[in-house]
Amino acid sequence: MALLRYRADVRSLAFIGTYFALVIGQWIFAPRNLWVAVPLLAMTCVMSWVGAVITHNTVHCPVFRARSLNRAFQAVLTLTYGHPVSAFVPGHNLSHHKHTQTRKDVMRTSKVRFRWNLLNLLSFALRVGPDIMKNDGAYVKAMRGSHKAWFRQYALEATVFAVVSVALLALSWKKFLLYWFIPHTYAGWGIITMNILQHDGADADHPYNHSRNFVGRAINWLTLNNGFHSIHHLHPGLHWSLAPKAHYEELAPHMDPRLDEPSLVAYLWRTYGWPGKRVRYDGTPLIVEDMGPDEGWIPRPQDVSDDLGAIAAT
């Protein structure tokens, strides 16, 4: 335990271990019985998505005390999520957190404006994904010359993922698609889609009502308290294990209680099923206007080590 900054991250490590156990087990035994194969694949997709959640936590608050262990852990996390962990910094820490729901936020929810709200949910990741990749590419290019430590860490993670992926593809393209590509695709879609659940219909300009929270115990056990999103925006570097206490003591007394959703499933049904209307948190219709193209921001070397959550490699 002396290696960890917070004892609670034993759960994070257990989840990562579960993901790799699922992938390795299915790769070796390749179950053919659908009653076994489908649930196992579904579990793998969920655990890959949890790996993306842990990636999010890690870029805000590193898991280990030693910088070398954090660097290695980010390379391991890259294999669970399917994308270099360091790439979370430009799109999430420096774009979304600093410029929530503005033209500088590449993940702003106003980019989807279908009349049928379910289409907004399903298409959100597809719509903002190319913009995230473009933003990431520009950031990587800028950091290559101005912040070499960050770039080396990014290159390490990308290389590890590429080497492992090519090796698995060479071994079996069918297993590669089932146990590697599909879970990673789901993880990427899921972690981006969470943004529309947490911010659509909230008031980005309000000091307390800027985010939606899902406060159910089960979902927060699985997502390591990532349902408490408002307090995360207020204190990005706060460890996830401390989020519920901080939420109820510091934020809940001031925010609109309608932004605390007791059930994720109930919210999904009400918002995207029946009645399925796109509304503000107070129940009034949400008028979504086209804000135009993304507004670029020039990355600075110090941005990767500021108070929004330094990655371990800086």
pLDDT in tens, 58-77: 999 999 999 999 999 999 99
User: What's the pLDDT tens digit per position in 206-238?
Assistant: 999 999 999 999 999 999 999 999 999 999 999
Helices (H), 201-314: 217-222, 229-234, 243-246, 264-268
Determine what percent of the chain is predicted with pLDDT higher than 70.
Answer: 95
User: Contact at 8 Å (CB) between 215 and 227?
Assistant: yes
User: What's the pLDDT tens digit per position in 102-137?
Assistant: 999 999 999 999 999 999 999 999 999 999 999 999
Inform me whether the pLDDT recorded for 36 exceeds 70.
Answer: yes
Is 167 or 2 the better-scoring residue by pLDDT? 167
Give the pLDDT band of residue 314 (cuts 50, 70, 90).
very low
- 209 falls within a domain: no
Helix (H) or strand (E) holding 260: strand 260-261
User: What's the pLDDT tens digit per position in 134-181?
Assistant: 999 999 988 888 888 999 999 999 999 999 999 999 999 999 999 999
- 50 falls within a domain: yes
Give me the chain's average pLDDT, please: 93
DSSP one-letter code for 297: -
Give the pLDDT band of residue 311 (cuts 50, 70, 90).
very low
Range 275-289 burial, b when 16+ CB lie within 10 A, else e: eeebeebeeeeeebe
Number of domains in the chain: 1
User: What's the pLDDT tens digit per position in 83-97?
Assistant: 999 998 888 888 899
Give the pLDDT band of residue 313 (cuts 50, 70, 90).
very low
Would you state the pLDDT for residue 298?
58
Would you state the pLDDT for residue 214?
98
Give the pLDDT band of residue 245 (cuts 50, 70, 90).
very high
- 229 falls within a domain: no
What range defines the domain where residue 57 resides? 7-204
Token pair of 99 as six digits: 């410029």
Among all chains, which residue has been given the structure tokens 């804000």?
Answer: 291
User: Contact at 8 Å (CB) between 59 and 92?
Assistant: yes
Within 10 A of 175 (CB to CB), how many other CB atoms are there?
A: 17
Determine what percent of the chain is predicted with pLDDT higher than 90.
Answer: 87
Would you state the pLDDT for residue 300?
58
Would you state the pLDDT for residue 261?
98
Would you state the pLDDT for residue 303?
52
Question: In angstroms, how far is the first alpha carbon of the chain from the final one?
Answer: 24
